[in-house]
Amino acid sequence: MSKKFLISVLDSMENPKKENRNKVANIVQNHKNLFKHLVATTFMVDDKISIKAAWVLEWICTHHNLNCMLPHLDEFTKNISKVHFDSATRPCAKICEHLANAYTSKKENEFKNALTTKHIDAIIETGFDWLITPQKIAVRAYTMNALYLFGLEQDWVHPELKHLIETKIIKESKGCKARGTYILSMLKKHQKI
């Protein structure tokens, strides 16, 4: 199965309804060689097909198997900062949150060894960029969670995150204020430990 085939399948997706994302995700899962093309298509950032690829990539990472990302961490972390369509940024932010959850999990998993400082730094840098630029609420929420989690091990992250939440994010929408307030409470709890 080729990248051309994958793009034709993505083109046939009308919208991001669950059944549509799941249908394409199942095709990719059944033809494992398509996954690398899915990642590559996600980062064709000036082509709107990248939006559909990002939807499916996030669906696979959320509902099927995050471990599919292991061989693609270099490509993913190198390119996430280039994503600029709103509808592609949200799924990439959610994948970053999944990676942060896996990395900081108490359970042993492959991401604890596979995610390098370079990967984490790229996610953190992109996350802060997403927080200081106009983004949808979901992007901000996933990003604040990811930054909080990675900040458990990189001590400079929490003070920066706290400052951004208190000076900018908490003054935005109700959703941003709610998530920002929650993250601030988590930061406060962590400081007491």
Question: What integer pLDDT is reported at residue 15 of this predicted model?
Answer: 83
pTM of the entire structure?
Answer: 0.95
Boundaries of every domain in the chain: 1-64, 68-193
- Output the DSSP codes for 7-52: HHHHHH--S--HHHHHHHHHHHHHSTTHHHHHHHHHT-TTSTHHHH
| Mean pLDDT of each 10-residue bin along the chain, 193 residues long | 90 89 93 95 97 97 95 98 96 98 96 97 98 94 97 94 94 90 93 71
H helix intervals, 43-116: 49-63, 73-79, 86-104, 111-114
Distance in angstroms (rounded) separating the CA atoms of residues 94 and 92? 5
Look at residue 155 and give its three-state secondary structure. Answer: coil
* Amino acid identity for residue 179 in this structure: R
Closest Cα partner for 120 from 86, 96, 94, 90? 96
Handedness of CA 171, 161, 142, 145 (dihedral sign): negative
Give the model's pLDDT for residue 16.
83
